[in-house]
Amino acid sequence: MSNTSIKILLVDDEPDILEILSYNLSAEGYQISTASNGVEAVKKAKKHLPHLIIMDVMMPEMDGIEACEKIRILPQLKDTIITFLTARGEDYSQVAGFEAGADDYITKPIKPKVLVSKIKSLLRRLNDESSKVNSEVVHIGDLTIDREAYKIISKGVEIVLPRKEFELLSLLASKPGKVFKRDEILDKVWGNEVVVGGRTIDVHIRKLREKIGDNSFKTIKGVGYKFQSRWIKK
């Protein structure tokens, strides 16, 4: 996928930041649209169907967290990558963002060259996934994971998962009973070019436990996590 075919939605209530981001990303050939608050972001996302949304957290009318939650329930935007802009050290915003369904975050202030590199890294995931031909459907007990359709069915009920929750579940369920170390999870789900903390994994596991069932995920203290079902001896 070439840069000129990639659509990016920028959302921030500070005009200067929108201008800087727009200038640098437009120079790379990306199609750029902008919004100044969460309400406008949801409308623009529905209209333009962007591949990537870069969104500030604190905004008037509707903040980035609520906007992310609203965007995540829209089927036509299920593959859109959402990354938040957060001030350095705002751990609460980062955790809240992941819980809302964000894929990543970018810490402000950020230099233009670093920003472009970060965006390319995020979009590389999109390119990698779009080039995969994987029709494999995994059945584990009463859980079905359709990797091609990004669909989860648990006990006969379809569950909609944000992108990173799906990828984490898919990874753990690919080898039931195997303990995946934290470093391996971060590398395979978030990519080794993305700086996230161990708390990120914990937040996503907690959300998966709420949706899939607490007994499906076992914490190996100081090591990582493994997926298990009632068909697997513990």
User: pLDDT digit string (tens) for 135-189?
Assistant: 477 777 788 888 877 888 888 888 888 888 999 999 998 888 788 888 888 888 8
Asked if residue 99 lies in contact with residue 203, where contact means CB atoms within 8 angstroms, the answer is: yes
Please report, for residues 3, 60, 115, 116, the alpha-carbon distance to residue 32 in angstroms, rounded to integers and kept in the order given: 11, 22, 15, 13
**What is the C-alpha to C-alpha distance for residues 183 and 112, in angstroms, rounded to an integer?**
28
Structure tokens at 122: 């995020």
pLDDT at 148: 76
How does residue 12 score in pLDDT terms, banded at 50, 70 and 90? very high
Per-residue DSSP letter, 91: H
pLDDT at res. 134? 45
Domain with CATH 3.40.50.2300 in the chain: 3-131
What's the confidence (pLDDT) of residue 64? 92
- In the chain, list all ranges with CATH 1.10.10.10: 137-227
Mean pLDDT value across residues 95-110: 81
Comparison of pLDDT for 63 and 147, the residue scoring more: 63
Structure tokens at 58: 């604190």
pLDDT computed for residue 101 by the predictor: 84
For the cut 80, the answer to whether the pLDDT of residue 94 exceeds it is: no
Q: What is the third-level CATH fold of 137-227?
A: Arc Repressor Mutant, subunit A (1.10.10)
* Residue 191, pLDDT above cutoff 90: no
Residue 13 near residue 56, CB atoms below 8 Å: yes
**Of 34-43, 124-133, 159-168, which gets the smallest average pLDDT?**
124-133
Quick one: pLDDT at residue 82?
92
> Mean pLDDT in the chain?
83
* pLDDT value at 133 more than 50: no
Q: What is the CATH number of domain 3-131?
A: 3.40.50.2300
pLDDT confidence tier of residue 128, bands split at 50, 70 and 90: low
